[in-house]
Amino acid sequence: MKKEKTTIHDIARKLNITASTVSRALKDHPRISMETKKAVLKVAQKLNYQPNHIAAALRVGRSNIIGIIVPTADRSFFSSVVRGIEEIANQSRYHVMICQTYDNYEKEVATVEALLNARVDGIIASHGKETLNFDHFRKVKERGIPLILFDRSNDELEVSHVVIDDYLGGYKATEHLIQQGCRRIAHFTNARKISIYKERLRGYREALLNYGLPFSEELVVESNLQLDDGRNSMEQLLKLKVIPDAVFSASAYGAMGALQVLKEKKISVPEQVALVAFSNEPFTSFTDPALSTVDQHSMRMGNAAAQIFLEEVTSENEKFIPQKIVLKPELIVRASSLRKPNES
Amino acid sequence: MKKEKTTIHDIARKLNITASTVSRALKDHPRISMETKKAVLKVAQKLNYQPNHIAAALRVGRSNIIGIIVPTADRSFFSSVVRGIEEIANQSRYHVMICQTYDNYEKEVATVEALLNARVDGIIASHGKETLNFDHFRKVKERGIPLILFDRSNDELEVSHVVIDDYLGGYKATEHLIQQGCRRIAHFTNARKISIYKERLRGYREALLNYGLPFSEELVVESNLQLDDGRNSMEQLLKLKVIPDAVFSASAYGAMGALQVLKEKKISVPEQVALVAFSNEPFTSFTDPALSTVDQHSMRMGNAAAQIFLEEVTSENEKFIPQKIVLKPELIVRASSLRKPNES
């Protein structure tokens, strides 16, 4: 009864294509045309080919799911990006499934695995704060599944990504404070690992330089940029011999913490200390005074990421060139930094 | 070459089990034990059984994914419930994938379909504001996949659900305002369709009744309870001959809108108009004055929903009895309703 087992080479020979194409067709690789997949499948069944992959291949066709990986879905920035992705994806009948990593590296790795097992057609991700090793994302690439990164990205991966010009955001925020008459501007950052914060810090520094103001290490406070971090950072700054006359925080929650401390200590905002936040969380317009902030055009970022996905998933081109889209941030001036109302 | 095709009845006979059990085993039904599934699969392969389901069955085992359906993931309430679900689910090595419906009925139906296609092991859902037909959820039940509803639920479905006692929340909020000396308390509601709002309204009404205060239709304002709705509702109330001395809003954003209008019109909060919101969105503690609100114990709600899922997915019991868990809400008193600081 026993007979020689059919291999992918037998199928390849029969169809006059490469074994690698057969293998990818059986894995339901998105870069292989539906036509080729069907042909391979037909021959595979005829020759009684029985590898593990046949199961997947038997269900040829797409899952029509885009997996989204975000640190957390409850930050307005991330949820707006997701909204932007869905806006485009839904028009093309793709479903969007969101997974949260809570900035935990192990969870991020396991999530990529789970999405691959769920046979998603693509992954759009913003990696966690702890992520230094990107092998799990390389695996997605190797499977030929489109991977697009947004906001927090990594150049070594050679995948498409959509980011904002964080340098410009930092520059604009600082320049605005200088134009409002501030001369001793502090900065809340988290620049140790993540490039977006490094860029915002660079923008802050360049603006000071361009306007002839000194850069002072004591005015740059490192933290995780959460609410309590903002409180602690502000308290630290208030202990300086000469307190700052403005704070540019690289996060919205950090600025909120600073505002709370200033109000508790009856230090007037913006008269004594002006404040500019980063990322346009809804609450920034609900505070008193409302917080000036840098808007990241998150909806547009999501739109762009989804567009790239659609291009990559339908492309039959074997030669892949990653796209890089850089969006320009916008400064939204509100009461917390408006010392000269007429000049705003 | 042609021979009689193998049917599930052949497999059933061979194993001395029912055809329905064979069918469910081949569909990777969660209520069928792994042992039975493996036995069925072995016989199916031996007899060369070749239906469509074989593909799914070849990959016997769980996807280890719980699909979560929420109107939107960016409301703190929903994101906290998801956090509560993940807390429990991750311990049992389940992955959580979140789908948003944006309160759109068609999207909700399509999402259920996509989750079933992704072979999730269970669905935990809060249905949309527009959902009046529940056939898509019935399909989940029929497939034998655990379905747990939370917050917005439906008794007819006969599935397990976790809700909070919205009546009690409405009662407590209103009683607190009465105890603070308010006598003309308005209410923002969206009671036309969704039971949670009906219940909050009922609690409001009962509290007034119990304290001998009149219920007045002109003080109950219907809307979608978003920020702008809250603004409009407040403006409407300020046109009354006698304006209210308090507002209990069935949403956090509605209360925020009211607060904005009152501040713009220099009407002092809580002295002239006291405010109580519903749902403990983070921004409610960032406003000035901070908003009193009803906390829904959303983390605990998520924990409970995940616990029920784990019980249902591992249960071999064919007789299913839905569980109903009702959590007690908690009133968080902040400055927006505190007229008598000593009595808080």
DSSP conformational letter for A184: S
Q: Which domain holds residue B146?
A: 60-163+297-326
Sign of the torsion formed by the C-alpha atoms of A55, A57, A59 and A63:
positive
Per-residue model confidence as pLDDT tens digits over A43-72 = 887 777 755 433 443 344 467 899 999 998
At residue B58, the pLDDT reads: 37
At residue A5, the pLDDT reads: 65
Q: Is the residue at A344 inside a domain?
A: no
User: Which of A98-107, A162-171, B37-46, B302-311 has the least mean pLDDT?
Assistant: B37-46
**Where does residue A5 rank: exposed (0-12), middle (13-18), buried (19+ CB within 10 A)?**
exposed
In angstroms, what separates the C-alpha of B214 from chain A's closest C-alpha? 33
Amino acid at site A17: I
Confirm or reject contact between A266 and chain B (CB < 8 A).
Answer: no
B 104-133 residues with CB below 8 A of A? 107, 110-111, 114, 117-119
pTM, two decimals, is 0.74
- Name which of A75, A76, A111 is nearest B95 (Cβ-Cβ): A111
> Which structure tokens are listed for B291?
């908003």
> Which structure tokens are listed for B224?
């979608």
Q: Is the residue at A145 inside a domain?
A: yes
Tell whether B236 and B148 lie within a shared domain: no
**Where does residue B335 rank: exposed (0-12), middle (13-18), buried (19+ CB within 10 A)?**
middle
pLDDT band at B301 (very low <50, low <70, confident <90, very high): very high
Q: Do A283 and B288 touch (CB under 8 A)?
A: no
CA distance B93 to B62: 11
Tell whether A181 and A241 lie within a shared domain: yes
- Quote the percentage of chain A above a pLDDT of 90: 63
Tell whether B191 and B281 lie within a shared domain: yes
Taking CB atoms and an 8 Å cut-off, how many pairs form between chains A and B? Answer: 101
Amino acid at site B159: V
Cβ neighbour number for residue B4 with a 10 Å cutoff: 6
Sign of the torsion formed by the C-alpha atoms of B243, B248, B253 and B254:
negative
CATH of the domain at A26: 1.10.260.40
Tell whether B181 and B291 lie within a shared domain: yes
- Name which of B76, B114, B288 is nearest A288 (Cβ-Cβ): B288
Tell whether A66 and A151 lie within a shared domain: yes
Tell whether A158 and A306 lie within a shared domain: yes
In angstroms, what separates the C-alpha of A336 from chain B's closest C-alpha? 14
Per-residue model confidence as pLDDT tens digits over A127-158 = 888 888 999 999 998 888 999 999 887 778 88
| Integer Rg of chain B from CA | 25
Residues from chain A contacting residue B55 (CB–CB below 8 Å): 55-56, 58-59
Q: Is the residue at A34 inside a domain?
A: yes
pLDDT at B139 over 50: yes
Q: Number of folded domains in chain B?
A: 3
Confirm or reject contact between B257 and chain A (CB < 8 A).
Answer: no
Cβ neighbour number for residue B182 with a 10 Å cutoff: 23
Query: Nearest-5° angle of CA A129, CA A133, CA A136?
Result: 100
Q: Is the residue at B146 inside a domain?
A: yes
Confirm or reject contact between A177 and chain B (CB < 8 A).
Answer: no
Q: Kindly give the pairing relationship between strand A95-100 and strand A65-70.
A: parallel
Q: Do A286 and B282 touch (CB under 8 A)?
A: no
Query: Nearest-5° angle of CA A54, CA A57, CA A58?
Result: 85
Q: Transcribe B288-317 into DSSP letters.
A: SSPPEEEE--HHHHHHHHHHHHHHHHH---
Tell whether A144 and A184 lie within a shared domain: no
User: Which of A247-251, A305-309, B53-57, B127-131 has the least mean pLDDT?
Assistant: B53-57
Which has more confidence, B82 or B317? B82
Tell whether B173 and B288 lie within a shared domain: yes
CA distance B21 to B69: 29
Q: Do A90 and B72 touch (CB under 8 A)?
A: no
Which among A212, A219, A266, A272 has a CA at the least distance from the CA of A245? A272
Tell whether B304 and B157 lie within a shared domain: yes
Q: Is the residue at A142 inside a domain?
A: yes
Tell whether B218 and B149 lie within a shared domain: no
Tell me, letter by letter, the H, E, C secondary structure of B144-209: CCCEEEECCCCHHHCCEEEEECHHHHHHHHHHHHHHCCCCCEEEEECCCCCHHHHHHHHHHHHHHH
In angstroms, what separates the C-alpha of B281 from chain A's closest C-alpha? 10
CA distance B239 to B267: 14
Backbone angles phi, psi at A340, to 5 degrees: -120, 80
Q: Do B97 and A97 touch (CB under 8 A)?
A: yes
CB B161 within 8 A of CB B150: yes
B 41-70 residues with CB below 8 A of A? 54-56, 58-59, 63-65, 67
> Which structure tokens are listed for B258?
């009211």
Confirm or reject contact between A251 and chain B (CB < 8 A).
Answer: no
Which has more confidence, B151 or A173? A173
CA distance B331 to B296: 9
Backbone angles phi, psi at A203, to 5 degrees: -60, -45
The region, left, alpha or beta by phi > 0 then psi within -120 to 50, assigned to residue A207 is alpha
CB A230 within 8 A of CB A152: no
- Name which of B65, B82, B288 is nearest A118 (Cβ-Cβ): B65
Confirm or reject contact between B72 and chain A (CB < 8 A).
Answer: yes
Amino acid at site B270: P
Q: Is the residue at B335 inside a domain?
A: no
At residue B331, the pLDDT reads: 97
Per-residue model confidence as pLDDT tens digits over A204-254 = 999 999 999 999 999 999 999 999 999 999 999 999 999 999 999 999 999
Cβ neighbour number for residue B292 with a 10 Å cutoff: 26
Tell whether B39 and B92 lie within a shared domain: no
ipTM above 0.95, yes or no: no
DSSP conformational letter for B328: P
Whole-number average pLDDT of chain B:
88
Q: In what order do the strands lie in the sheet with A220-222?
A: A220-222, A185-189, A246-249, A274-278, A292-295, A330-332
In angstroms, what separates the C-alpha of A54 from chain B's closest C-alpha? 8
In angstroms, what separates the C-alpha of B96 from chain A's closest C-alpha? 7
Residues from chain A contacting residue B283 (CB–CB below 8 Å): 282-283, 286
